[in-house]
Structure 1
Amino acid sequence: MSRLGPGERVRERVAHGFTTVEDVLYVGLGVVLAMAAVALLGNAAVRFAWSLMAGPIPANVVTVLDQLLLVLMIIEVLYTVQVSFREHVLVPEPFVLVALIAAVRRILVITAEFGSVMDQGSQAARYAMIELGLLTAMAGVLVGCLVGLRKRDKEVVAERA
C-alpha cells in the first residue's frame, strides 16, 4: 500500500468534496427536471382534453405536440443527468438527441403555422422557408451524428476526473 504525502491527501479530500457537491447538485437538478416534465405532461393532457371539447382539433394538436416534444427533451436531459450522477461520465448522445428533438419540434411548429405566415407576406414566407431548410439540414446532420456515435464503441466517450 503506497503512502500518500500531505499534499496528495489534501487533493484527495478536495476531490472527494467536489464529487459530493456534484452529486448533490445532480440530484437537485434531476428532481427539478422531473417535476418540470410531470407538470408539462399534465398541462399537455389538460390542453388536449380541452381541445377535444373546444373545437378544431388540428389547430390544437400542434400545441399539444409541441409540449409533448418539450417533455421528451426534458426527459433526455434528465437521462443525461442520471448517467452523469451514476457513472460520473459525460456522454454526447443525449445532447445530440435533444438537439434533434428541438429541430423537429421547430420544424413542426413552422409547418403548422405556415398558413398564417403566408398571410403576413412574401418576406415572412421566405424567411420561414429558409428556416425550414436550415432546420432540415441541421436535422440531417444530427441524425448522421447519432448514427456515427452509435457505430462507435458503446463505452463512454468522455470521462471526467
Structure 2
Amino acid sequence: MSPQERKPGRLRNWLAQGFSRAEDAVYIGLGFILAATAFTLLITEMIFFAGYVWAAALSENVVLLLDRILLIIIFAELLYTVQVTFREHILQPEPFLVVGLIAVTRRILVLTAEFSKFAQEGDPIFRNAMIELGLLTVLIVALVVSLRVLKEKGKLAERA
C-alpha cells in the first residue's frame, strides 16, 4: 500500500477519534448539568416537604409534591441515559421511552388533580381536559407497547 493510500485512513481515524472525544465532552457536560439540576431539585423538594410537614399542610400539597418528585425522577432517568450513551457509545431508546412514560404519568396526575377546578370553570375547559386525558392515555398505551416490543426484541437477540 502506498503512503498516499494510507493517509486517508489515518486522517479518517484521527477525525473519528476527535469527534468521539468531542461527543464524550458533550455528554460529560450534559451529565454535570443534569446531575446539578436533579440535586438542586431534590434539595429544594426536601425543603418544601419539611415546610409542608411543619405547617401541617402536607395533604393539601401532596399532588404538587408528587409532581416535583416525578420531575426529579425524569432528570435522574435522563442522567442515566446520558451515562449509558457515554459509556457504550450507543443511543438506546428504552430510557427515552421510560422518561416519556414518567412525563405522561406526571401530566395525568396533575390533570386529574385539577379536574374539580375544570368542572367549575365551565364545559369547554372540562371537555378539553377530558380530551387531553384521553390522548395521554393513548400515549401511555403506545409507550408501554413500544417498551414491550423492544424488550421482546432484546430477548430474541439474546437467544440468537
TM-score > 0.5, shorter chain as reference: yes
Alignment partners' CA distance in 2, 1:104 and 1:58: 20
Matching residue of 1:80: 81
Q: 1:11 deviation in Å? A: 1.0
Deviations 1:125-157 (A, max 9, x none): 11111101110111111111111111122699x
Q: Does 1:42 align with 2:9?
A: no
Q: Is the partner of 2:154 in helix, strand or coil?
A: coil
The match for 1:159 is: none
CA distance in 1, matches of 2:56, 2:116: 18
Counterpart CA distance in 1 for 2:88 and 2:102 is 25
Runs of 4 or more, structure 1, over 4 Å off, are: none
1:1-161 alignment to 2 at 5 Å?
Answer: 5-153=6-154
Could you tell me how far 1:118 is from its partner in structure 2?
Answer: 1.4
Cα 1:58/1:113, change in 2 over 3 Å: farther
Percent of aligned positions with the same letter in both sequences?
46
What TM-score do you get using the length of structure 2 for normalisation? 0.90
Q: Which one has more relative contact order, counting CA pairs under 8 Å at least 6 apart?
A: 1
Secondary structure (helix, strand or coil) at the match of 2:10 reads helix
Deviation digits for residues 57-77 of structure 1 (CA, Å, limit 9, x no counterpart): 333111111111011111111
Structure 1 unaligned runs (5+)? 157-161
| CA 31–109 in structure 1, closer or farther in 2 if over 3 Å, else same | same
Q: Structure 2: give runs of 5+ residues left out of the alignment.
A: none
Higher helix share: 2
C-alpha distance in 2, partners of 1:117/1:60?
18
1:62-95 per-residue CA deviation (whole Å, 9 max, x = no partner) reads 1111111011111111111111111100100000
In 2, Cα distance between equivalents of 1:69 and 1:155: 32
The alignment of Structure 1 onto Structure 2 pairs a total of residues equal to: 154
